Amino acid sequence: MLKKKNKYVVAVVGATGAVGNEMMAVLEERNFPDDGIRLFASERSEGIKLPYRGDEVAVETLNEDSFKGIDIALFSAGAERSRIWAPVAARSGCVVVDNSSQWRMDPEVPLVVPEVNPHDLKWHKGIIANPNCSTIQMVVALKPIHDAAKIKRVVVTTFQAVSGTGKKAMDELLKQTTDLLNFREVTCSVYPHQIAFNVLPHIDKFLDNGYTKEEMKMVNETKKIMGDSSIRVTATTVRVPVFRGHSESLNIETKKKLSANEARAVLSTAPGIVVYDAPEKNVYPLPIYAAGKDETFVGRIREDESIENGINMWIVADNLKKGAALNAVQIAEKLIEMA
């Protein structure tokens, strides 16, 4: 467990990536009690200086001794690097919050969204997993509904921004859009098809069951985070030509009847949620409003008239912020609170 201190030495692994940059911004924005920060990335980034708290910090390359003296390490460097370096960090006495898929379904590693299951932090063994971005915003909205009416089944369709793939995908969307508007032929390198002015029902690799890895992440991670394997989840994940902010359409079947107004009331008092729901005034969550925000926005709340106990809703959150960096920093803050 983390030792109680006034300030903590923090590392960001994968600091030059989109999520790593966002982690640094969130640490600074929330005035995290750090006693200095160490930045790590691949060999090609060694020596690059990144701004932090009005200073510049040089990026380092990882080695076996890198984590000595570091209290908390926020990882966003991909599953392979996490597989190798997270145990090294944990052996050095550092607590790792890992944003990759490497540890999420490991039964020895808690998978945590602080608004949902902070109690699971009590049994960590040096590594804590940050869930998938699309799962995080969904379970933030599901938890208060589950507590109020017990969820039986969830059908989710996502509309995910290209930033979920990384900077190269954002660059590809921008270039394709520019090329199309200038009557030039587009090229595809990040995605198998044109993403500009298009929609791709394909995120991550397809599996033998016909689902993608992204879809099965949402299924399996939801059950682990909610601590209830009886919840049935089915997902369709879709990439859309939006730079930042994931949207999700949720259909939720509950054991107890919950009216739309009751659902609004439950959600409006839940941590991390803003109910943004006045469709008669064209008020509903949009990615452009969620970008840069901490909260998960919920709207289009209505009863499903095709089943006895059903609720439909539309949720939007910033995938780089709440879907990755902020959730990791909130885990670190909760660890400090519990120390």
Query: Which residues have C-beta within 8 Å of that of residue 212, sequence separation ≥ 6?
Result: 202, 203, 204, 205, 206, 237
Are 307 and 273 contacting, i.e. CB atoms less than 8 angstroms apart?
Answer: no
**Measured between alpha carbons, how far is 92 from 43 in angstroms, rounded to an integer?**
22
Residue identified by tokens 């995938």 is 319
Of 45, 95, 53, 55, the C-alpha closest to 75 is 95
Residues carrying an active site annotation = 133, 246
The string over 152-179, giving b where at least 16 C-beta atoms fall within 10 Å of a residue's C-beta and e elsewhere, is bebbbbbbbbbbbbeeebbebbeebeee
Are 226 and 141 contacting, i.e. CB atoms less than 8 angstroms apart?
Answer: no
- For 132-194, give the DSSP string: PHHHHHHHHHHHHHHHHH-EEEEEEEEEE-GGGT-HHHHHHHHHHHHHHHTT-----SSSSS-
**Measured between alpha carbons, how far is 57 from 47 in angstroms, rounded to an integer?**
9
**Measured between alpha carbons, how far is 33 from 5 in angstroms, rounded to an integer?**
9
Query: Around Cβ 27, how many Cβ atoms within 10 Å?
Result: 22
Token readout for 75 is 């990882």
